[in-house]
Structure 1
Amino acid sequence: MSKVLVIGAGGVGSVAVHKMAMNPDIFSDIHLASRTVSKCDAIAESVKQRTGVDIQTYAIDADDVAATTKLIQSIGPKLVVNLALPYQDLAIMDACLAAGTHYLDTANYEPRDEAKFEYKWQWAYQDKFKQAGLMALLGSGFDPGVTSVFAMWLKKHKLKTIRLLDILDCNGGDHGQPFATNFNPEINIREVTAPARHWENGEFVETPAMGVKQQFDFEGVGPKNMYMMYHEELESLAKFLPDMERARFWMTFGDAYLQHLTVLQNVGMTRIDPVMYNGVEIIPLQFLKAVLPEPASLGATTKGKTNIGDIATGEALDGSGEKTFYVKNICDHEEAYAETGNQAVSYTTGVPAMIGAAMMLTGKWRGEGVFNIEQLDPDPFMEMLNSHGLPWTVEELDGPLSF
């Protein structure tokens, strides 16, 4: 029996649980917990209708380590899949250690009071998990996650070294809303408004948020403006690809999104420090999240495609000199919704969460301690991407990006 507990009932949690239920040979017993049990129940009902599989649901405050430990112990899963908020990573890791259970997440820890996400807090758990004989897998989403696996697959099969790496994340979908975010608004806006950083010549170089813009013609989407920003896989890729001279992360944003975001910043609605309102302390960004559309509600109206991939340049494995390869996935919002009831941004994160869990449960990935996805064999993960809804292609380019 491969029993699994998923914590988090947003769009990503919904996709992951649906895809787990579609693979009963790996996930024989699925449990879902969240602060709001009604969200879990709605996902369970959808899973039952689509697959016939029953999902057990629970209410849990994942910030409460003791309560989460008790829940894990009562269920007895082989693996806990953390699809809750990044703020809760350490609490859930503590609960897994206390309960003696393996751990997986899709995004690294971020303190509530500072928009600074990095791996140092979770890497510090290395000895604890190793001594407990447990495995913690970090960043098994798309970016981070698949983008890192793409890089390591190229390193294994195409390039002796990776000198230059550009990760390009394009969401060409249109949800019809004046302003909405395709994943948790609080996390999305904190991420987008933070200063950009890229890796160059052995250190991170910081530039203003949204300060560097380029246009790129994305297959299946068309020309889009993309902006250089910081993303957590740059930190782990710089660690596990020591020969890398430069690594950058790019994400596309429409003009209307940026105009709305600029106004919200200017009036203080993206602040993460508390303010007093009618005698009550509130955090403006959390209030903004409450009035924006729920990302999980956007699936029914979103049309278009996502296109996410890596462009890597380095010395070819076959000794033919320097080469550039582009490996990418294109995902259709409407097809993702038809299969799981969620749009492609949730789908592209939830499917890799399921695949990472499958790697651990089947023993294809195993170890004791804390692991980033770059440290593990990319081949079985890449194989499952092709057969579970996120097929990829690889092509050789004439050279690296000209900018």
Structure 2
Amino acid sequence: MGKALIIGCGGVASVAIHKCVQNSEVFEEICIASRTKSKCDALKEKLDGQGTIITTAQVDADNVEELIALINEVKPDIVMNLALPYQDLTIMDACLATKTHYMDTANYEPEDTAKFEYKWQWEYRERFEEAGITALLGSGFDPGVTGVFSAHALKHHFDEINYIDILDCNAGDHGYPFATNFNPEINIREVTANGSYWENGDWVETAPMEIKRVYNFPEVGEKDMYLLHHEELESLALNIPGIKRIRFFMTFGESYLRHLQCLENVGMTAIEPIMYEGKEIIPLQFLKAVLPDPASLGPRTKGKTNIGCIFRGKKDGQDKTYYVYNVCDHEACYAEVGSQAVSYTTGVPAMIGAALVMNGTWQKPGVYNIEEFDPDPFMEGLNKWGLPWQESLTPELVD
């Protein structure tokens, strides 16, 4: 069917690559490219001979010319951007120059500002249209599956959706006093930024961790969760008709929050450079270097994740509620692909989204958020490839 160039070789990329190999009917060939080629080679050695032809390459994803040269050499049908959000625009530039489809899992974020916005990538819409290529934005879980869940709810359960609460619960225990389940730099920037939610056409901003709720998650139990800003709020507010309010909540344990507050108080989460022994360093990047690598958490992590959306709206003039969610087991993920569930829940949707673009199901020229496509083939893919979804018409509501 086709060939994918996968940029990145961290925890999420590793899961996506395993899944591409499982889906070798679509992914006949993949090239894994990263700044550290040895990581790509190790994964190739592990997965060679299972049906997908695998090659590897070294690339600096900050360098557009290097990216263009690699794309011209590999000639992929799609570039799967599983690198860092800072690199979205350079990779999009390279895809434009070579007229190659593009996919990512998280929106662009400038390295010097903890700000999540789609505006930079949405500015590419006309250029991608003119080039006749598709850019699929946010094909992870949140953003990603949460957008597909929203499109599915609108298509099959509502005439209009008025309220969406996105609930992201990780009840995994890795045994460390403090560690992050995905890239520490991105994770900590996200958590220490101001919260916000969309209500009646405007953003309402909150202090970090200001709004707390307790929710009883299916198969997990009661957990503390906190309102954060998250990028899919921005696109769902535009793409789902009838919206009055969208909020995003994520669970955090007391130990995590205590450690984070202490690190923030002493300046270790800062992203402004400081001088240390004559050298400029960024405290958060130094902290990332001393924290456990998220990829190392897989064999230690036990417990489950539960990520889903609660919708309230109207169907045939009647009020209706609907909850759709996925429960994922850390140990089962590690047994299958050698990664914990946080990487798994992002890596699987990355493969599904790329496959739908590659096989033509989701191809249309331009730049699109995931909820702008027909959700049905993606929902089928979730059940097929390891993230089965469950639903309820009588969920416990978040006040």
Following TM superposition, by how much is the alpha carbon of 1:46 offset from its aligned partner in structure 2, in angstroms?
Answer: 2.6
Which residue does 1:350 correspond to in 2? 347
Q: CA deviation at 1:48?
A: 2.9
CA contact (8 A) 2:166 2:248 kept: yes
Provide, for residues 311-353 of structure 1, a one-character-per-residue CA deviation record: whole Å limited to 9, x for no partner.
000002xx26101000000001111111111000000000000
Give secondary structure in 2 for the equivalent of 1:397.
coil
Match of 1:35 in 2: 35
Question: Is the 2:27–2:52 Cα contact (8 Å) retained in structure 1?
Answer: no
Separation of aligned partners in 1, 2:174 and 2:217: 19
Letter matched to residue 208 of structure 1: A
1:398 to partner: Cα distance: 6.1
Task: Give CA deviations for 1:374-394 in whole Å, capped at 9, x if unaligned.
Answer: 110000000000010000011
For 1:185, the equivalent position in structure 2 comes to 184
C-alpha offsets along residues 57-109 of structure 1, whole Å, 9 cap, x if unaligned?
11110000000100010000000000000000000000111112110000000
Task: Give the Å deviation of 1:224.
Answer: 0.4
Instruction: Find out whether 1:291 has 2:290 as its counterpart.
Output: yes
The answer (yes or no) to whether the contact 1:103–1:135 under 8 Å persists in 2 is yes
Pick from 319, 334, 337 the counterpart of residue 337 of structure 1. 334
Gaps of 5+ in 2: none
Q: Secondary structure at the match of 1:259?
A: helix
Letter in 1 for 2:260: L
CA contact under 8 A between 1:324 and 1:399: conserved in structure 2?
A: no
Q: 8 Å contact 2:24–2:51 — kept in the other structure?
A: no
Residue 161 of structure 2 corresponds to residue 157 of structure 1 = no
TM-score norm. by structure 1 comes to 0.97
1:399: Cα distance to partner? 7.0
SS across alignment from 1:248: strand
Distance 2:147 2:330 in 1: 23
Give the paired residue count.
Answer: 399
In 1, distance between residues paired with 2:98 and 2:335? 37
Alpha-carbon contact 1:169-1:309 (below 8 Å) kept: yes
Amino acid at match of 1:346: S
Which one of the candidate residues 356, 362, 375 is aligned to 1:359? 356
SS in structure 2 of the partner of residue 16 of structure 1: helix
Task: Say whether 1:328 aligns with 2:325.
Answer: yes
Equivalent runs, 1:158-237 vs 2, <5 Å: 158-237=157-236
Partners in 2 of 1:157 and 1:229 — Cα distance? 28
8 Å CA contact 1:44, 1:54 repeated in 2 = no
User: CA 1:398–1:232 in structure 2 vs 1: closer, same or farther (change >3 Å)?
Assistant: closer
Cα deviation digits, residues 272-304 of structure 1 (max 9, x gap): 000000000000000111111110111011111
Which runs of 5 or more residues in structure 1 are unaligned?
none
Q: Could you tell me how far apart the structure 1 residues matched to 2:108 and 2:395 are?
A: 38
Alignment of 1:119-158 (within 5 A): 119-158=118-157
Identity %: 61
Q: Report the AA paired with residue 229 of structure 1.
A: L
CA RMSD, aligned part only?
Answer: 1.1
1:313/1:400 contact within 8 Å kept? no
Question: Offset at 1:54?
Answer: 4.3
1:7 matches 2:4: no
SS in 1 for 2:357: helix
**What does residue 387 of structure 2 align with?**
390
1:18 matched to 2:18: yes
TM superposition shift of 1:373? 0.5
TM-score of the superposition, structure 2-length normalised? 0.98
Instruction: Within 5 Å, give how 1:284-323 maps onto structure 2.
Output: 284-316=283-315, 319=316, 321-323=318-320
Is residue 142–residue 348 contact of structure 1 (8 Å, CA) maintained in 2? yes
More off after superposition, 53-62 vs 296-305: 53-62
